[in-house]
Amino acid sequence: MVTTNKIKHKWGMVVDLDRCTGCQACVIACQAENNIPINTKDYFQQRRAYEWIRIERYWEGEFPNVKAKFIPILCQHCENAPCEPVCPVFATYHNDEGMNVQVYNRCIGTRYCSVNCPYSARMFNYWQPNWPDSLRNQLNPDVTVRTRGIMEKCTFCVQRLRRGEVNVEQRGIEPLTGEKITGERKLNYRQMQEGNYLPACVQSCPTNALQFADQYDETGPVKERFDEANEIVEKRHHGEHIDENHTRTYRLFEEVGASPNLIYLKKVEPFPLEKRPR
């Protein structure tokens, strides 16, 4: 047998809440990239809207002294994902690149996973997806159109990862050094250059609030943040005191223990609401 020398990846995202302006560009980009059906007012009122990434908005203070806070929430691709063990047919599992994968053709629609997800990141297809005729040709051919009765969620745009891998393999050159790849390395060449693979939401973010890279990549933009977050978890585990003002890094619902592959950076408040100059 051929020996694989696959380069290991572990994908991760950092969401900087200080930069997020709540513009919803990521929501639209995700909708267009992943063949998500068009939500109507009716869908929202029934709380059955399809949103793989959503911006939650919180108000702070009393009128007229109010301030809006935004937080983008998507599938957290947890390491100890609560959705995975409850699936009776193994339609959701963790792959070796740190992604929580939903296999549509295995799913039988029990909805246990969406009940067990602490982030409400999973959407169930209650209806057959329907697009107006004018939009039929804009469907992404790389993404399956999900039928009625199955669960779906953010995939970290895995179709873009596979497309990027094919592009790297086709050119047959090392992305970083420009050398020609030969022999066995060529067979399982899986290294992705930074920027070869970005999810649609990250690519569309106008303020770079979302950052996406390999956690193992020493020069990448997210490694430092993940190291910091893991250190805090370690300290908390040993009961050490953590200065909350010292670090901005946190994971959503850390007490649940799902250890997501997403990290949020706290919003910095140079002027707290009551001391803000009028």
Partner 1 sequence: MLPLVVAGGVVTVIMGFILVVLLISWFSNPPFGLGNAPPQPVAFPHTVHVADNNIQCEFCHRNVTKGEAATVPAVESCLFCHQEIDGGSSTTSANSQAEIQKVRDAFDSETPIDWERVHRLPDHVRFIHESHIRYFTDDDPTKKYGINGEELKETLDVALTCTICHGDVGNKTVVQPKTGQSLKMGTCLDCHRNNNVPTDCTVCHK
Residues interacting with partner 1, by CB under 8 A? Answer: 1-4, 6, 93, 95-97, 99, 101, 103-105, 142-145, 155, 158-159, 161-162, 166, 169-170, 182-184, 186-188
Q: How far is the CB of 157 from partner 1 (least distance, A)?
A: 9
d(CA 53, CA 155): 11
d(CA 121, CA 46): 16
- In the bound state with partner 1, the residue whose beta carbon lies nearer, of 165 and 254, is 165
Q: How far is the CB of 278 from partner 1 (least distance, A)?
A: 52
d(CA 86, CA 147): 22
Q: How far is the CB of 79 from partner 1 (least distance, A)?
A: 17
d(CA 119, CA 51): 12
Tokens 């290294």: give the residue.
191
- In the bound state with partner 1, the residue whose beta carbon lies nearer, of 20 and 150, is 150
Cis amide leading into 85 (omega within 30): no
- In the bound state with partner 1, the residue whose beta carbon lies nearer, of 96 and 255, is 96
Task: List the structure tokens of 46.
Answer: 């029934």
Q: How far is the CB of 93 from partner 1 (least distance, A)?
A: 8
Task: List the structure tokens of 244.
Answer: 């909350």
- In the bound state with partner 1, the residue whose beta carbon lies nearer, of 155 and 261, is 155
Task: List the structure tokens of 179.
Answer: 């050398």
Bridge partners (DSSP) listed for residue 56: 71
Cβ 148 vs Cβ 125: under 8 Å: yes
Q: How far is the CB of 4 from partner 1 (least distance, A)?
A: 6
Phi first, then psi: what are they for 106, rounded to 5°? -90, -25
HEC readout, 104-156: CCCCCCCCHHHHHCCCCCCEECCCCCCCCHHHHHHCCCCCCCCCCCCEECCCC
d(CA 89, CA 108): 8
Q: How far is the CB of 106 from partner 1 (least distance, A)?
A: 8
Q: How far is the CB of 158 from partner 1 (least distance, A)?
A: 5
- In the bound state with partner 1, the residue whose beta carbon lies nearer, of 27 and 161, is 161
What pairing do the DSSP bridges indicate for beta strands 262-265 and 11-16?
parallel
Q: How far is the CB of 230 from partner 1 (least distance, A)?
A: 25
d(CA 10, CA 215): 5
- In the bound state with partner 1, the residue whose beta carbon lies nearer, of 34 and 76, is 34
- In the bound state with partner 1, the residue whose beta carbon lies nearer, of 115 and 187, is 187
Phi first, then psi: what are they for 214, rounded to 5°? -80, 130
- In the bound state with partner 1, the residue whose beta carbon lies nearer, of 17 and 145, is 145
